[in-house]
Structure 1
């Protein structure tokens, strides 16, 4: 075996790693959980049908992980972020999730998530240098 650096991940490399890890995790958890699923809530311009922002998330092991959330600057402050998070929480509940977790940088929106009931469970200082990465979770009922 050899270790080969790929500066841009080949799709087949990612697939081999992900599929192997999913199989291993299924064995370790006795198959109690379905494989991870990916969902999106797209923020679309109704006139053009163009996606301008939204949210992507992964559902796995009874939790939803919000991977990405983006609202274009001209649409910020109009409630779209809270609506996206609220709809993600609704999807998570329907899927049987017990909670949602996410991370955000100090220059992004930690206060926004805290206002929505998310509790910080960790930070990573100086990532990127001069800033902090915040990890937050919300238990769903």
Structure 2
């Protein structure tokens, strides 16, 4: 491996430091050069990421929620939780099913989520998700982060 004698490395406080915009510009330039169709599509307002947030309510109180976003043909689930006293009553399944239905309505064909091995991988697998990747010891305490995805299916029959 060769080294350039005049290179020095500097740690910046965050990605707003001088020079960081130039690095982002180089990456965007590369992406435009090798995948212009995708980059053009991302520039169109109708292809911006759109939030998809559902709350499950019982007696005027929140008992669960799912936070996601849709972009292009993908649904990305970022957070889903159900109150401890309301678990195992189908609330999570209802949240997921409605989120998938709304995502399909928005044109999504796929969904993905990441979860820790002690959180909900079995839940997602029971709902058709497959593990597509993992990072061992992600939390530095021996637990894996799992990445799961699913092909969303359009419902058949009358709407």
TM-score (normalised: structure 2): 0.69
Gaps of 5+ in 1: 7-12
CA contact (8 A) 2:64 2:92 kept: no
Deviations, residues 79-101 of structure 1 (Å, cap 9, x unaligned): 00111110111011100001110
Please give the alpha-carbon distance, in whole angstroms, between the structure 1 residues aligned to 2:68 and 2:131.
19
Counterpart residue number, 1:114: 125
* The one of 77, 83, 89 aligned to 1:66: 77
TM-score (normalised: structure 1): 0.77
RMSD of Structure 2 on Structure 1 (CA)? 2.7
Deviation at 1:39, TM superposition (A): 1.4
Aligned residues: 125
Counterpart residue number, 1:44: 57
* The one of 13, 16, 28 aligned to 1:4: 13
Gaps of 5+ in 2: 1-10, 154-159
CA contact (8 A) 2:110 2:152 kept: yes
Q: In terms of Rg, which structure is larger?
A: 2
User: Which runs of 4 or more aligned residues in structure 1 lie more than 2 Å from their structure 2 counterparts after TM superposition?
Assistant: 2-6, 27-33, 44-47, 50-53
* The one of 79, 94, 106 aligned to 1:83: 94
